[in-house]
Amino acid sequence: MTTPASELIQYLESVAPLHLQEKYDNSGLLVGSSSADVKGVLICLDCTEDVLDEAVQKGCNVVISHHPAIFYGLKQITGTSLTERLVIKAIKEDLILYAIHTNLDNILQNGVNERIAKQLDLNVEGILRPISTGTNEICGAGIIGAYSSPKTESEFLGLLKARMKTGVIRHSKLLGRPLQRVAVCGGSGSFLLEDAIREGAQVFVTADYKYHGFFDADDKLIICDIGHYESEQYTINVLHELISSKFATFAAHCTQLNTNPVHYFT
């Protein structure tokens, strides 16, 4: 018994519908035919040449990434850029490339941010910035959660560093206040700062904050930048759990590669 890629794709898009992706995004089937049978799935955060080699070695013909392998338009495919080389290698190795990006960010259940909240032992209260879809879907950017009892700043920062496996936390000024309500957004979340403040968060966990953006905390809360890769790393586990629990005709694997392009000198 075999499973066509179309069935896997249909399932993923029932969990995180494509219409929930941001306008700038490029989620969905990027390379390959959905009519091909799935031999195995490799799940990753970033699609790199090494990841494609890993897929071939593991006997996987489907690579599911969070970040799209093709983000901007291609005018030629000559192998002079990483994206061009990925497309060439995928076609040569008969691989299917699929991305599930901001549509997975924008769902509550089984989404990127819910997993961050679980890692931090937060009780999820809801979406930080809901979006209207015309249905009863609960979706949008970020999550607001809370602890049953307050934590000190040092307790929270220690928990955050350990649970999110980050080498460093860049943060705004500590305020000497107990922390109980926490806003989270995997990836680049600075656009949600005002939403976090409005929801009464005492700390906002996200990534990709610029220098001047830390001033915007303005003693209202603490901004914690834990790194883009670090904030989204558990997305791989979310997808693996979803796929493994649904399909028994093929194996799903989490990549063994750390694709974080940012390194720390400590």
Annotated binding site: 66-67, 105, 228, 232
Residue 247 backbone phi and psi in degrees, to 5: -120, 135
d(CA 1, CA 132): 40
Pull the structure tokens for residue 171: 């943060």
Instruction: Return the closest-CA partner of residue 101 out of 17, 181, 41, 171.
Output: 17
Half-sphere exposure of 13 (CA within 13 A, CB side): 14
What residue numbers does the annotated binding site for a divalent metal cation cover? Answer: 66-67, 105, 228, 232
Task: Count the Cβ atoms, other than its own, within 10 Å of residue 29.
Answer: 17
Pull the structure tokens for residue 237: 């586990």
Residue type, 1: M
Close Cβ partners of 194 (under 8 Å, ≥ 6 residues apart) = none
d(CA 153, CA 182): 12
Instruction: Return the closest-CA partner of residue 116 out of 237, 258, 232, 202.
Output: 232
Residue 147 backbone phi and psi in degrees, to 5: -95, 150
| Residues β-bridged to residue 31 | 97
Question: Dihedral, CA atoms, 80, 84, 87, 92, nearest 10 degrees?
Answer: -20
